[in-house]
Chain A
């Protein structure tokens, strides 16, 4: 039995599903390729300007409509360093289930700036790079 320590989460093979890499004490690591049947997704890569460039501390709130028409809002934060001595990928990954569109994303940058992006421009199952605008 392996003695797992740090765990890093990222989409290593670029298929839209988050995979896992685990460092095991005194043995070989384990990498799990996620092949679960999975829903739609959207990934946000945030680039700070006034804020730190990796946007660590930024909060993104993404809303979408669920099957019954209700609006659901997910909140994620950019972080670096958690778990046990582990760092996972910077981009914010949002699973969307069956939803094929996003209503809107609101980003609160570490600088305090708030930016709102309407969903029509975003699509799903892709990576969207968002830069902190100089004006707001």
Chain B
């Protein structure tokens, strides 16, 4: 059977009565479905194995100077009708790099011999390779134990025959066939291939130069929260993955000497570094001032925000922490922080992950919106695509710089997803700051400021709902129309096949078996009201990768699907900024930056 088999999910998301009907139906034949599911996963695992052997083949081919270790991954019966030869375009120059696009020339059928010839020419230009990445993008079809159609990302960091560094990124569609002689064994081979897109970025590595940390005075090394160590707390900790989430960072000129300083957050001991100015060679220099600034010995911090919360002329510090009381420090004007947590009103204990500052009531004092995840000791995210059992995000109103007051409930901003990222932007341009939330295992929330202390959640109406494993958010006007656009980072890559029919059906069976379906029936109903019953489409959206939303100018958004910004990898933090001062906002997304070329959509 194929993964394309359609099952009527409408039943599942229909109201309580239908759910009750579904249980006996689903229990029937469950064992058989479970076995299919195991076989499906096994097939996926063997495809991952095939991809890593493909990457090893590329490395072996370059070491040996001949392409047979790569062509060995192709079937003897390889034939690609209408494929054409893949050639490079002339380069477009962008800053100090040249960008080449690869395209298929002609629509001729391609044989194994022609393929070997093309490979020899392609790899012939490589002097050496530093890194190879071969990853599943999306499994489009799978006939277990027989064949598969999938898109694959092939990324090579290499040096060409002239000594120049380059990175090739190809997205190709492979038609795999199992060449193993019967039984359960797998021997995947590529029977046919198509180019989806490919490009090469080539240039001297003079662009973004990695700073020598020791020479620059930075000896920080991120440590996870020892209280979230799965090995030690396995029995109590339900969602141990959370220990991987920590890693906030902040830069601000806390001592007002004109230079941006750096604060690193982690599970054990945050560190503050003062910027001392650059060396003669233009290298930045820092000094560890954690102890002398009054911030020593603070662990379990996810996020720090510097700002002049009391408008007295210096920058104070808020620290959002994971299941331990938040902290608030006042700057005494000389760069020393005094602990004011106890009287701040913001020293609550929640699983805080992120924070954003805004003056939502425009009283001249900066308020704090805190992104809050779930309690990993109490629960797992329930509904992997619409988890609503996290702890509410919190909005704290700053009253005259004296104290913070929790106005979450009155303001209507208590998103109960497993929030990872929050950001502020004036989405509708009315001068009142709005809020955006990215939830892991969930959706985006967009809160419109009603100018009276309350917010309305408008993500669906605004076209920014987007279900996915949301991890980062950034606002910026990349198309110069004066309105804020939104870029979000999400889970991407082979996680995406969790959205396939087969996996969704396995999930549903588990939900029925564990009786969670009864507990979550109202969530299903809400989900149904948001997106209807096309859960497979929803699954496809989950894990599509990063997404760019263009503001239409009225506070509603169009998602730009073809902006080359989606496949940046497993994205956490994202930023809009102009990396080369050419006036175009570029994007930096965790594992690489995406340049905005004039006249194009990135």
Contact = CB atoms under 8 A, between A and B. Distances in A.
- Say whether A associates with B: yes
A6 B248 contact: yes
A26 B303 CA distance: 16
Contacts of A93: 577-578
Contacts of A38: 95, 579-582
Given A29-B213, A53-B308, A77-B484, A35 B206 contact: yes
13 contacts: A7-B572, A36-B95, A36-B96, A37-B96, A52-B311, A53-B311, A81-B305, A82-B356, A84-B489, A86-B250, A88-B575, A97-B583, A110-B431
B578 A18 contact: yes
A100 interface: no
Given A52-B311, A96-B581, A14 B424 contact: no
Contacts of B355: 81, 85
Nearest to A51: B364
Interface string B405-443: 000000000000000111111100001010000000000
Interface in A75-90: 75-77, 79-90
Given A5-B248, A10-B260, A82-B475, A87 B306 contact: yes
B91 interface: no
Q: Which of A21, A24, A76 has most chain B Cβ within 10 Å?
A: A21
B362 interface: yes
B311 A75 contact: no
A4 B583 contact: no
A28 interface: yes
Contacts of B249: 5-8, 21-23, 29, 85-87
Interface stretch (B41-49, B214-222, B452-460): B214-222
Contacts of A10: 251, 260
Interface string B480-498: 1011100001000000000
Interface of A: 3-41, 48, 50-54, 56-57, 59, 61, 64, 72-77, 79-90, 93-97, 99, 108, 110-112, 127
B378 interface: no
A35 B250 contact: no
B349 interface: no
A92 B495 CA distance: 37
A87 B302 contact: no
Given A14-B277, A75-B482, A94 B315 contact: no
Given A77-B425, A86-B250, A111 B364 contact: yes
A31 B471 contact: no
B581 A83 contact: no
Given A51-B364, A52-B311, A86-B250, A97 B305 contact: no
Contact of A53 (B275, B284, B313, B578): B313
Nearest to A13: B278
A89 B252 contact: yes
Given A41-B581, A52-B311, A86-B575, 19 more contacts: A5-B246, A7-B573, A7-B588, A10-B251, A23-B264, A24-B222, A26-B222, A26-B224, A31-B210, A36-B207, A50-B364, A57-B426, A80-B424, A82-B356, A82-B475, A84-B420, A85-B247, A89-B253, A111-B364
B574 interface: yes
Given A31-B218, A84-B471, A93-B578, A75 B362 contact: no
Of the four ranges (under 10, 10 to 19, 20 to 34, 35 or more), the interface on chain B belongs to: 35 or more
Given A52-B365, A74-B480, A81-B356, A5 B311 contact: no
Contacts of A53: 308, 311, 313
Given A13-B283, A89-B251, A7 B590 contact: yes
Nearest to A89: B260
Closest 10 CB pairs of A and B: A5-B247, A85-B248, A95-B581, A81-B356, A6-B249, A10-B260, A83-B573, A95-B578, A87-B250, A13-B278
B446 interface: no
Interface in B203-236: 206-211, 213, 216, 218, 220-224
A49 B474 CA distance: 27
Contacts of A111: 362, 364
Nearest to B216: A31
A83 B364 contact: no
Interface in B348-390: 353-359, 362, 364-366, 369, 371
Contacts of B590: 4, 7
Given A31-B210, A34-B207, A110-B362, A74 B574 contact: no
B304 interface: yes
A77 B303 CA distance: 21
Contacts of A59: 426
Given A34-B208, A76-B477, A81 B354 contact: yes
B264 A29 contact: yes
B221 A28 contact: yes
A126 to B, nearest CB: 12
